Structure formats: C-alpha cells, structure tokens
Structure 1
Amino acid sequence: MDWQNPDIAKQYKAGEVVTSPFALHLIQQCGLDRADGSSELVVLDNACGTGVVTLNLYEALSPAAKTRLQVVCGDFSPGMVKSVQERIDQSGWAGASAKVVDAQRMDLPSDHFTHVITNFALFLVPDPRACLAECFRVLRPSGTNALTIWKRAGWHPVAVGAAARIPGAPPVPPFAEFVNVFMKDRGENESWTDMKFVEEQMRKTGFEDVKLVLHQNLIKVPSVAEYMKSYAGMTMTMLRNVWSDEEMARASPHFEAALLEELTSKYGDGEVPTEWEAWCITARVPADPVA
C-alpha cells in the first residue's frame, strides 16, 4: 500500500461502513460513551486513517464530555492527515487536530494521553511491539490503550468460493494468514491473531487489566453490483499478499468473473449479507508505572 499517495483516503473511505461499528464497540469498552465531563479526555486516534474513531467519539460523547475533549488524529500518511483535518474543519469538531505521526516512533509527549485508540492498524505497522511500547509511553498512569484485530472478514468466504470455481487456481488460505502476513515482527510460533499471544505481548509491554471481547457485525451490501464495486479490487489486493506471482498469473485473469458468478449464484442481483468479526482489546497503564 502506497501510504504517501495523496488520494489514499479516497480508497479507504468506503471501508468505514465495516470499521465504524467496531470503533464504536471499542469506545464503549473504554467507557468513553459514559463520560460525564467531570474529567478531561485526551485521546490519540492512532493510525487514524479516515478518522472513523474520532467520528464515533464525537457522536457518542455527551455534550458535557465534549467540552473537555481533546483529540489528536495521527497517521503516517500525509494524505490521510490532510483528509482528516478537512473532515475536522467541516464537522466542527472542537478540540480535534490532525498531524503526521509514526505509530512506531511518535513525536508526541510522554504521559500525556488518557486514551490511545488504534482501530484495525496494528497489523499494518511493520513493528507492532514498537507500536505497543509507544502507546504505553504516551499514556498517562491509569491511561487506557484500546485496539481492534480482525478475526473474520466478510469478503473472505466469498473469495474462497470464487477461487474454487477457477480450474487450477490455488486455494484461498485461512483468514488468519491474511492478517499475519502484514505483521512483519513475527517469528516461528508467533501469531498476532492468537489472543493469548496478543495478551502476553500487552503484559510484556507493561499493560495490566487486559480485556478481550469478541464482537460480530452483519453488514448488508445493497446489491451484487455494489459488492463488486466495493470489494473486488480489494480482494485481489489481499490475494496478492498470499499467492505467489505464478499463482496470481494463473488465477487473476479469471477471478473477477468467478467472483461475480459466486455472488449471483447465491444472491441473484440482490442484497449480499457479509459477516465481520473482530477482537476489541483494552488494557491499562498501571497507576504507578514505576513501582
């Protein structure tokens, strides 16, 4: 993915229908939707993408809580940051700002934020351990780190069925392989889709009170044509990460037609239900990290 592409936010905007419900789950798991304005909230929307976490924050918080809210939307991509700042200005989100931030080396003060929220980005960071360490550093004592990790994606079973329709095509691997292929800092027996492993990494970083909650959402795509528009290109991009060049050359010329055939055989030209499942993970910095 070319994170320096100035138009990258446009590519990710369509994905909000999928990622937004989980961002809200995470906000609720943090207890932010119950904030009453009695204390300040200083939130880092980490690897913010198009700003879907911040969008949900401003919709979920009470008026009193919003008066004491500060949000930094940070992302490695200048194109994302520009798009989010425009969204902040257009939406009138008082207290919010956007800046370029590398999740592995944050140019942000230590012991500053009450919450760091990373929605479906840990698997895109080359060194996830460095990201966790930075989240720990910038959080205040008793601050909350929150993140999401996919368990199941709605496009995956459709892709499995489509590939099976192509003679000689390689099989589509289990979904966990798609997540792990992005996790560069991993060795034998490491898996960032294994929640025991993730909890262990959180605790090694210094976090406590690690809470893992599995959420499921059903997203209904209005039509087969809309599904093809939204997911066909993205599915091919994902397959490039797990199929060899030879396998791609053999299967890719036929994949879009097979995908359309798989969808129409099941749904005609009607609504396409897709099931999405993800872990929402929260943890706290100890009240006295030095002790």
Structure 2
Amino acid sequence: MSTTQQANDMQKNVREGWQDPSIAERYARAEAATRPYANIIIDKASLASNITDHNCTVNALDFGCGTGVVTAALYDIVPKEKWSNVKVLGGDISPHMLDYLRGRGEKNGWTGLTTQIVDGADIQLNNNQFTHIFANAIIFFLPLGALEKLFDLLQPGGFIGLTTWASFGWYSYVERAVNNMSNPPFLPTFSEIRDSLQKGNAWHEPAFVKQQLEETGLQDVELVVEKRNVECGTPAQFCESMMMPMTIVSGHWKESNRQETLKEVMSELKKVMIEEAGGEEGMCYMQMEGIVGVGWKSMKKAKW
C-alpha cells in the first residue's frame, strides 16, 4: 500500500469513525485527557470576570465540540445566575456527538446551548457572529484554511482558543501490544501517524501553532505548553476510549482483514494495560503534552 493510500485510509477512517453510533460513549472517556486543556483556554478567555463584573454576553462556538468538554468547562466557570448571558453553539460533524451534548445540556440546564452539524473542511456559518471560538483537539485534522475561516466568524475583538498535541502517550502501549504478538501487523511509527493526522503540518510544534495564529491575523497571541499524567480508567475503559485512535492506525492494514487484525491488537492491548494497571480493576495512566494557543481579533474599541 502506498504512503498516499495509507494516509487517505487513515483520514477516511477518522470521518467514518465519527459517524459510529457508539462514538460519543467511547469518546467521553477521552475528556480526562482534553479537559485540563479546555480549562486553560476558558481561563484565558476571561469569561467569568467579564460576565460577572461587566455583565457581558457571550456568543461562543464550540467547534468540533465532541461530547462537549469545552462547553462544560465554560458553564462550570460562569456563575449559574449568569447563565442567561451565555449562548453556545456546539458544532461537530457527528450527529451522535451532538445528540450526546444536547442530552448533557438538558440534564445540566444549559439553556443557552444549541447544536448544529458543522463540517470543519467546509464551514457554513455566517461571519462576524461569535465573541469566542474554541477548537479543542480538532484543528490539526483540518486544512490550514480552516483557521482563517474561524477568524472570519469572529466579531471584532473576539477570542480564539485552540489546543493541539505535542505528544500523546498511548503509542508506547500499542507498540508493546503489537510487539507481544506472534504474528504482529505492521505498525507505523509515531511520527508517521502524527504526520498523517496533521496532513504534514507541524501542529505538534509550539512555534508552528504561534505562527498560524499570528498569520491568521490574531493579536496578543499566547501559548501554554503543559504535560499532564492523565487517569484513563480501568484497562477495559482505556481500551474502549482507544477505539478511535486504533481505527486510525488500522488505515495502514489491508482492508480485507483489517477488522480481524484490529480485534487481535485490541485484545493484546488490554493484556498490556492490565499488566500496567496491576489488575483488571486498577487504573491506567497516560502522559499527554498539550499546546494551548489563544489570540484576539483586533477591533476599533476596547477589547471585549
């Protein structure tokens, strides 16, 4: 299989995986990894102080919202009596993610929340409408032009906060699992997986993230690079949350026996994680290193 075909299969698997009815329940476990970085971008946006002290209103886009980790972080930081000042549009390509987020909003009373199918490769939203845009662990999947489109969606003085990964800790576990197999499948290198996901762009490098934000036209650009040791649940829960990354990896395997190979690798991965956790009921941990980038769109009057 050619390198180009492998990359195309990986991207195809990502889009198809997002349409899996079980994706939301599986992906919810990943919030353990993404929530710390969602908290950082919400904090950098100064939402609570502006709403509480100045009675400002927020019209935010949670872009590539998934199960709604950023939306949850936003509502958590704003006093409940000020939730009427908040509007959030959760946008994602997966209807199942949006269903999950709607249910979460109804359960928690997030009356300002609406959801809509939004394709990051072809964003069909009106310009100059949002005060804040949050793109948590999504921008590296998309063409570079997506960030320019997000910039156009901002009102003057608006804020963009995005996160991406400098490294992710699951690869070493998968490598151990594959190496333990008597007839191991081909495993692409960490760099090959990363480059395929990022379309060859260096979203894992802080300097590149800063450059993209500044070239888009954002001002007061700031970066935070932070490592976290993340609790990922029991071995079974960890493996459940790994189905999306592993469907991406499986893009390198022959389609004729891809599902069978994936099942075998996941079985071996569970054994590795049981050993790592010290038993089936033990906790698994994974070290992640995230990059948070934020900036503001210029305006004629004082910043929002």
1:202 maps to what in 2?
213
Contact 1:71 1:96 (8 Å CA) reproduced:
yes
Choose which of 15, 30, 38 in structure 1 pairs with 2:45.
30
1:138 maps to what in 2?
153
Contact 1:163 1:172 (8 Å CA) reproduced:
no
1:225-274 deviation per Cα after TM superposition (whole angstroms, max 9, x unaligned): 4433443x345323224x3439x879757533432443344443032222
The amino acid that maps onto 1:203 is E
Contact 1:48 1:119 (8 Å CA) reproduced:
yes
- Trace 1:84-233 onto structure 2 (pairs within 5 A): 84-125=101-142, 127=143, 129-166=144-181, 169=184, 170-174=186-190, 176-184=191-199, 186=200, 190-231=201-242, 233=243
Does the C-alpha gap of structure 1 residues 108 and 254 become closer, same or farther in structure 2, counting only changes over 3 Å? closer
* Cα distance, 1:58 vs structure 2: 0.8
TM-score of the aligned structures, taking structure 1 as reference length: 0.83
Separation (CA, whole Å) in 2 of partners of 1:222 and 1:78: 26
Larger RCO, structure (CA 8 Å, separation 6 or more): 2
1:100-133 deviation per Cα after TM superposition (whole angstroms, max 9, x unaligned): 22334433332221110011111233x2x22111
Does the C-alpha gap of structure 1 residues 201 and 229 become closer, same or farther in structure 2, counting only changes over 3 Å? closer
2:290 maps to what in 1?
278
Choose which of 215, 231, 237 in structure 1 pairs with 2:247.
237
Contact 2:27 2:241 (8 Å CA) reproduced:
no
2:3 maps to what in 1?
none
Q: CA RMSD in A?
A: 2.9
The amino acid that maps onto 2:96 is G
Contact 1:50 1:80 (8 Å CA) reproduced:
yes
Structure in which a larger fraction of residues adopt helix:
2
* Cα distance, 1:22 vs structure 2: 1.9
SS at match of 1:283: strand
Structure 1: give runs of 5+ residues left out of the alignment: none
Residue 81 (structure 1) aligned with residue 94 (structure 2)? no
Separation (CA, whole Å) in 2 of partners of 1:266 and 1:109: 48
% same residue: 27
Contact 1:159 1:172 (8 Å CA) reproduced:
no
- Trace 1:260-271 onto structure 2 (pairs within 5 A): 260-269=270-279, 270-271=282-283
Does the C-alpha gap of structure 1 residues 87 and 224 become closer, same or farther in structure 2, counting only changes over 3 Å? closer
Contact 2:29 2:232 (8 Å CA) reproduced:
no
Contact 2:66 2:97 (8 Å CA) reproduced:
yes
